[in-house]
Amino acid sequence: MKHFEESMYKLIVETSTNLPGDVRRAVNRGRAAEDAATRAGLALATIAQNIEMAEQEVSPICQDTGMPTFIVHTPVGANQIEMKRAIYQAVVRATKDGKLRPNSVDSLTGANSGDNLGPGTPVIHFEQWEQDKIDVRLILKGGGCENKNIQYSLPTELEGLGKAGRDLDGIRKCILHSIYQAQGQGCSAGFIGVGIGGDRTTGYELAKQQLFRHLDDVNPNEDLAKLEDYILENANKLGIGTMGFGGEVTLLGCKIGVMNRLPASFFVSVAYNCWAFRRQGVMIEPATGEIAEWLYEAGNEVRMNAASETAAAAAAGSAGVQGQGREIVLQTPISEEQIRSLRVGDVVVIRGEMHTGRDALHKYLMDHDAPIDLNGAVIYHCGPVMLKDEEGWHVKAAGPTTSIREEPYQGEILKKFGIRAVIGKGGMGPKTLQALQEHGGVYLNAIGGAAQYYAECIKKVNGVDFMEFGIPEAMWHLEVDGFAAIVTMDSHGNSLHADVSKDSAAKLAMFKDPVFS
Ligand SMILES: O=C(O)C[C@H](O)C(=O)O
Ligand code: SF4
């Protein structure tokens, strides 16, 4: 087992940096189905470009490298303690090398362990089997999409869909609702794993297990095979679209499993995975610990469709999004007048300094001063992957995080410090929208998961505050150029997110009538 640790390291690096072939094909299919000259088309093109960039740079596809979850099948008698130790070592090394973000945080103190080890992290499940090889599968599922997982207890009443009973049609309604409630916040277009039955714990486990299925397999249960096809086809009629921008493509894959339940319980558990669907697996030779075989098609074999109209092209001065807005370069600090001239749909290209800030910083700023002048500033909801060498800090991955978590704070902070622009993803709520209007601010939606694309726009790290919050939560001061994002909430009371949410709620109601009775 001399090489087992090295094999685990290879598995982590491959999973984090190279999206598997079946997932790439699904993203390409989504791209073909979307109108390229729309916001959603632009987002998909940027995603495709980002996938290629991550592979080339051998850097994380998305900065949130998630909860590393290993499922290991071993021959009877294999030493699981030794394997666990090797997995820990590989995780520590991958973190040091910037292939994983330090993501293990003490739930009470907020302290980041710095190496991805800690109580409960990483997750490792062992199971014995009667084969002579070791099968190790890994999924890196990020926090944003994990937050959109949902569990239903049947019978129930669902917004727009009415009664969902304890039958296949009730299950159908729950699954459609799960996609609706995620909106763009789990970085759609997404993939879902569904677990029917079990208890609250095993139901979710079953849902996650579905995410390890190959995307092109066919469910052996005929009813579930039909339901999978139905969901894939009809979820895309909800109009939520990539990043919640509205559009034709909301779901890229649906896998459903079933297990027995207690007479009193009927759970439908849904694991929502973003487009950055990072899962891989290896078959290991037990004698040496070397990789005998990769279990999912490599990414290298499936090219992403040539990027035509990406956000980068828009930034370089091409047409932008046809008929949906203009393209404006904003140099920081930004004036109120500039902000008031922006409208939902405009593509903004930022040049100058921006500051990262997420949960810990927003909470802190509510009753403390900021370490720097934030008048006219741009706040970026982002927890980057950073590495330090003799020359200083370097950005390894830096896409946006889900902004709605800052909804309780954002409006007040905006006004208190004179911030003019907030960049994030998934949109924000009515409190922020009102503050944008009153104060003269704008919300810019960056493409979730496009961590390599945005890292390339960051030219220099000017400094950092609050390192004690840990790398993802610290306030990084970043010099950017050509940083493109789309205005989705403006200072005139318009919100694309509110519009898409309302529109998709109306569309959801079209699925009220029974289909599988
Ligand atoms: O934690 C992050 O960087 C992003 C997170 O996965 C999110 O989707 O909000
Ligand atoms: S930012 Fe988006 S792509 Fe990245 S882990 Fe979160 S949900 Fe997934």
In this predicted structure, the answer to whether residue 62 has a pLDDT above a threshold of 90 is: yes
Residue from 62, 405, 453 whose mutation best tests the ligand 2 pocket (most atoms within 8 A of CB): 62
Mark residue 239 as left, alpha or beta (left: phi above 0; alpha: psi -120 to 50; beta: remaining): left
pLDDT at 181: 98
Q: Spell 207-219 as b/e; 16+ CB within 10 A means b.
A: bbbbbbbebeeeb
Work out the pLDDT band at 326, boundaries 50, 70, 90.
Answer: confident
The whole-number average pLDDT for the span 244-256 is 98
Residue 309 pLDDT exceeds 80: no
Q: Are 361 and 469 in contact (CB under 8 A)?
A: yes
Q: Which residues line ligand 1 (CB under 6 A)?
A: 63-64, 142-144, 187, 383, 401-402, 448
Is the distance from the beta carbon of residue 184 to the nearest atom of ligand 2 less than 6 Å? no
* pLDDT tops 50 at residue 320: no
Tell which one of 16, 47, 61, 62 to mutate to probe ligand 1, the residue whose CB is within 8 A of the most ligand atoms. 62
Task: Decide if 198 contacts 145 (C-beta within 8 A).
Answer: no
Q: What letter represents residue 365's amino acid?
A: L
Please tell me whether residue 138 adopts helix, strand or coil conformation. Answer: strand
3-state class (DSSP) for residue 313: helix
Phi-psi region of 118 (alpha: psi -120 to 50; beta: other; left: phi over 0): left
- Of ligand 1's listed atoms, the one at least distance from the Cα of 187 is 8
At 306, is the pLDDT very low, low, confident or very high (cuts 50, 70, 90)? low
Q: Which of 421, 338, 350, 345 is nearest to 381 (CA)?
A: 421
**pLDDT for position 316:** 45
- Residue 400 CA to ligand 2 centre (angstroms): 8
| CA dist., res. 516 & res. 284, Å (int) | 43
10 Å CB burial of residue 92 (0-12, 13-18, 19+) is: middle
Decide: 446 in ligand 2 pocket, CB within 6 A.
no
* Mean pLDDT within 211-236: 98
Q: Which listed ligand is nearest to 405 at the C-alpha? A: 1
Q: Which ligand is nearest to the CA of 446?
A: 2
Least confident stretch, 305-319, 375-389, 393-407, 443-457:
305-319
- In 3D space, the residue among 452, 447, 455 whose CA is nearest the CA of residue 488 turns out to be 447
- Interatomic CA distance for residues 470 and 102, integer angstroms: 8
Q: What is the pLDDT of residues 169-216, one digit of tens each?
A: 999 999 999 999 999 999 999 999 999 999 999 999 999 999 999 999
Residue ranges of alpha helices (H) inside 167-221 are 168-182, 200-210
Q: 461 versus 1: which is more confidently predicted?
A: 461
Which atom number of ligand 2 is nearest to the Cα of residue 276? 3
* Rounded distance between C-alpha atoms, residue 87 and residue 74, angstroms: 14
Which among 149, 358, 401 is the best mutation to test ligand 1's pocket, defined by most ligand atoms within 8 Å of the CB?
A: 401
Residue-level pLDDT at 2: 92
Q: Does the bond joining 37 to the residue before it have cis omega, within 30 degrees of 0?
A: no
Is any ligand 2 atom within 6 A of the Cβ of residue 142? yes
For ligand 1, atom 7, name the residue with the nearest CA.
Answer: 144
pLDDT bin (cut points 50, 70, 90) of residue 319 is: very low
Instruction: Spell out the residues 6+ positions from residue 197 whose beta carbon is closer than 8 angstroms to its own.
Output: 203, 206, 258, 259, 260, 261, 266, 267
Split at pLDDT 50, 70, 90, the class of 315 is very low
Atom of ligand 1 nearest to the CA of 425: 9
Cα separation, 221 vs 231, in Å, equals: 15
Confidence of residue 140 (pLDDT cuts 50, 70, 90): very high
DSSP-assigned letters across all residues of 330-375: EESS--HHHHHT--TT-EEEEEEEEEE--HHHHHHHHSS--SS--T
Mean pLDDT of the 276-291 span: 98
